[in-house]
Amino acid sequence: MDQYAVTVLPDQRLDDEKQIAFAGLYGPLEVAPPVRSQDGGPAASRRIRHREIFDVSNLDEQGNILDLSDQRRAYSQGNQLWHTDSSFRQKSATWSMLHARIIPPDGGDTDFADTRAAYDALPEATKLKLEGLIAEHSIWHSRAQLGGYTPTEEERKARPPARHPVVRRHPGSGRNALYIASHASHIIGWSVEEGRALLEELLAFATQPRFVYTHKWRPSDLVIWDNRCTLHRATPFESRAQIRDMRRTTVIDTRVETMAS
Ligand code: OGA
Ligand code: MN
């Protein structure tokens, strides 16, 4: 994991309990926030009982494909933007583990980019410019983009933004990594426009094909990635007709984050 940052373990016959137990070996697990129902009323009941499992599917609590108008559909569209999990939390994430239960016949791949390789390839002048910069990340920034999910005031309060250095030292490899995502909205101390332009430029640079691995799923694949030094995104599939049922467990980063050195 420290060298490659993404690991594929095929043929893992896991249920939710086993997936939680395995992920829990690597640290405390994040719990999924409540899901909002279609009409913006009280939180819908969860399809999956365990809150340590993030429901990365297009299914409702009855196991039917989500309505086109369902807010959960808009929310999960955000996964198609390049991001790293939980950068919008001050205690962000180390590893995510995604398990394929049901995959569609076409599409629904996951792309991964190594942000250490991207950092290494940056021009020296850019590396200097990035020294000491802090970005603000918010789940609501990425959700305002694809799908146009609009949070309630309560949701906003429950999930405030977080701030992280744009370049961090990846503990396991000792290498510098860009820590950026579609959750990142601006750079502290810069105008919003200038900060956003820089973040967009970095995201485009880091996700060039030469830094990307595309995972084509098979049922029962477990894919583990290190959120501290990668970006990822879901690719589209025929989500009105096909079922994609994936389940994620996410390990909380309990270390103090280290800026680049
Ligand atoms: C995730 C995620 C991508 C996908 O589970 O964190 O971004 O392909 N998933 O489902
Ligand atoms: Mn993700």
C-alpha 175, offset from chain centre = 21
Please report how many Cα atoms fall inside a 13 Å half-sphere around the Cα of residue 225, on the Cβ side: 25
pLDDT in tens, 91-114: 999 999 999 999 999 999 999 999
pLDDT in tens, 9-59: 999 999 999 999 999 999 999 999 887 755 555 666 789 999 999 999 999
pLDDT in tens, 189-238: 999 999 999 999 999 999 999 999 999 999 999 999 999 999 999 999 99
The CA 110 to ligand 2 mean position distance, Å, reads 9
CATH superfamily name and code, 6-252 = Clavaminate synthase-like (3.60.130.10)
Whether ligand 1 lies within 6 angstroms of the CB of 164 is answered as no
Whether ligand 1 lies within 6 angstroms of the CB of 98 is answered as yes
The CA 2 to ligand 1 mean position distance, Å, reads 20
Domain ranges of the chain: 6-252
Whether ligand 1 lies within 6 angstroms of the CB of 58 is answered as no
The CA 128 to ligand 1 mean position distance, Å, reads 32
pTM: 0.96
Ligand 2 (single-atom ion) residues, CB below 5 Å: 85
From the CA of 54, give the closest atom in ligand 1: 5
Question: Do you know the residue count of the chain?
Answer: 261
Whether ligand 1 lies within 6 angstroms of the CB of 79 is answered as yes
